[in-house]
Amino acid sequence: MGPEPSIADERGEYGLVITCEHGGNRIPEPYQAYFHGYQALLNSHRGFDPGALLMAKALAKTFSAPLVTSTVSRLLVDLNRSPGHQNLHFISIQNAPTQVREQIVQRYYRPYRTQVDSLIQQSLVEHSQVIHLASHSFTPELDGKLRNADIGLLYDPARAGEAAFCECWKASLKACMPELQVRRNYPYAGKADGQTRWFRQRLPADAYLGIELEINQKHILAAGRHWSDLRQKIVVSLHETLARYFAHPGVIQ
């Protein structure tokens, strides 16, 4: 394939913000004792989303979009969960003293969420609409069940703009990669607790589109050029989707 496209001439009416909440499995030194004996878990899909950070960086570079990422493990604090959620922390952190949990939230959770919020608000000052694209990946098998998808697009079905955008993106992905299974709101429900839902509760549907890209980790772990080719095709498909969607906003093409 040729060089990745640029959309500098098409961005007037919208802004794009890229995030990656689960980009690594790092445990900062002050909290490593809480994860003694859990290295295998940290290295698994429960510790982070393999490939999600590389995908996010590729999207941000191609589209010249602001990027917010974290390499702190989701087991320390899950940046894609709301305060008070039962899975905000791993069990060893849940059982830690209150001041330890508060310190973790203050050092890692709040700065991340504040930065994303600031970029989205800034984008809305400059544009009539912002597309928040969060990069994730999912394990091919969970609890003994194979996940029947290669790529998932998560959104809130009650928001017509998000539904139209994901329908358009799904069509573009299938055109680029007809051999892959692309599903909407799979393997998770897009309206479930998460950062995009938090923004939906605060921003109108015509101003904010929150989309989560989920990639099956079997493609990320594949040998050879497969993973790099897949990233580039995802970039191309998003370029086509943005052009089509904003030619007819909110209308499924």
Identify whether 167 is part of a domain. yes
Residues of the chain with pLDDT under 50: 1-11, 251-253
Q: What is the pLDDT of residue 247?
A: 82
Identify whether 8 is part of a domain. no
Identify whether 3 is part of a domain. no
Identify whether 212 is part of a domain. yes
Q: In this structure, which long-range contacts are made by residues 176-179, counting pairs with CB atoms below 8 Å and at least 24 apart in sequence?
A: 176/233, 176/236, 176/237, 177/150, 177/230, 177/233, 177/237
Rounded to whole angstroms, the Cα distance separating 214 from 49 reads 10
By residue range, what is the domain housing residue 165? 13-247
Computed from CA positions of residues 204, 205, 209, 212, in that sequence, does the dihedral angle turn out positive or negative? positive
Q: Say which CATH number the domain at 95 has.
A: 3.40.630.40
Q: Is the pTM of this model over 0.85?
A: yes
Query: What's the domain count of the chain?
Result: 1
Identify whether 34 is part of a domain. yes
Residue linked to tokens 């358009």: 168
The angle formed by the CA atoms of residues 137, 164 and 180, to the nearest 5 degrees, is 40
CB 178, CB 208: distance < 8 Å: no
